[in-house]
Amino acid sequence: MNDEVGGNQRRARFQALCQSLRPDLLRFAFWLSRDRALAEDVVQESMLRAWKARDSLLDETAAKPWLLTIIRREYARTFERKRLPTVSVDELVAKEEPMLAAAEEQNINDVRAALMKLPDEYREPLVLQVLMGYSTAEIARELELSGPAVLTRLYRARQQLRAACGEDLSLDPQE
Amino acid sequence: MMDHRQYRSAIMADPHDADPDLLAHRGSCAECRAFTEQLLRFEARLERALRVDIPTKAVVLPFARKGAQETRRWMAMAASLLLALVIAGGVWLTLPQRSLAAAVVAHMADEPYAWQLTDVPVPDAELNAVLEDSKLRLKPDAGVVSYARSCNFRGHKVPHLVVQTQSGPVTVMVLVHEAVRKSMQFDEHGYRGTIVPVPGHGSIAVLMRDASSRSGEVERIAARVDDSIVWTR
Other beta carbons within 10 angstroms of residue B32's beta carbon come to 20
- Ranked by mean pLDDT, the top range of A9-13, A133-137, B159-163, B180-184 is A133-137
Residue A32 lies in a domain: yes
Residue A60 lies in a domain: yes
Residue-averaged pLDDT of chain B = 80
Residue A40 lies in a domain: yes
Q: What are phi and psi of B79, to 5 degrees?
A: -65, -45
Whether B99 and B46 map to the same domain: the answer is no
Whether B38 and B109 map to the same domain: the answer is no
H/E element, B206: strand B203-208
- The residue segments making up the domain with residue B128 are 95-231
- The residue segments making up the domain with residue A62 are 1-85
On whether the CB atoms of residues A90 and A113 are closer than 8 A, the answer is no
Q: Which residue has the higher pLDDT, A112 or B110?
A: A112
Residue window 104-143, chain A: list those with CB within 8 Å of chain B: 107-109, 111-112, 115, 126-127, 129-131, 136, 141
* Residue to test with chain A: of B45, B145, B152, most A Cβ within 10 A: B45
Please give the ipTM for the structure prediction.
0.85
| pLDDT band at residue B56 using 50, 70 and 90 as cut-offs | low
- Lowest-pLDDT choice from A100-104, A130-134, B151-155, B172-176: A100-104
Residue B101 lies in a domain: yes
Looking at the DSSP bridge assignments, the partners of residue B172 are B161, B206
Whether B27 and B109 map to the same domain: the answer is no
Other beta carbons within 10 angstroms of residue B214's beta carbon come to 11
**Cα(A56)–Cα(B156) distance, integer angstroms:** 10
Q: What is the pLDDT of residue B91?
A: 47
Of B35, B54, B64, the CB nearest to A15: B64
Q: Can you give the CATH number for the domain in which B227 is found? A: 3.40.1000
Count of domains for chain B: 2
Q: What are phi and psi of B85, to 5 degrees?
A: -65, -35
The amino acid occupying position B99 is S
Residue B59 lies in a domain: no
Residue A117 lies in a domain: no
Whether B140 and B204 map to the same domain: the answer is yes
- In sequence order, the 6+-apart residues with CB closer than 8 A to the CB of A141 are B126
pTM for the structure as a whole: 0.55
Classify each residue of B134-172 as buried b or exposed e, where b means 16 or more C-beta atoms within 10 Å of its C-beta: bebbbeeebbebbbbbbbebeeebbbbbbbbbeeebbbb
Geometric angle at alpha carbon B179, from B176 and B182, rounded to 5° = 130
Q: Which of B113, B107, B104 is nearest to B147 (CA)?
A: B113
Q: Residue B14: pLDDT above 80?
A: yes
Residue B81 lies in a domain: no
- Ranked by mean pLDDT, the top range of A106-110, A166-170, B132-136 is A166-170
Of A51, A76, A155, the CB nearest to B13: A155
Residue B89 lies in a domain: no
Whether B43 and B130 map to the same domain: the answer is no
Whether B154 and B43 map to the same domain: the answer is no
DSSP at B121: P
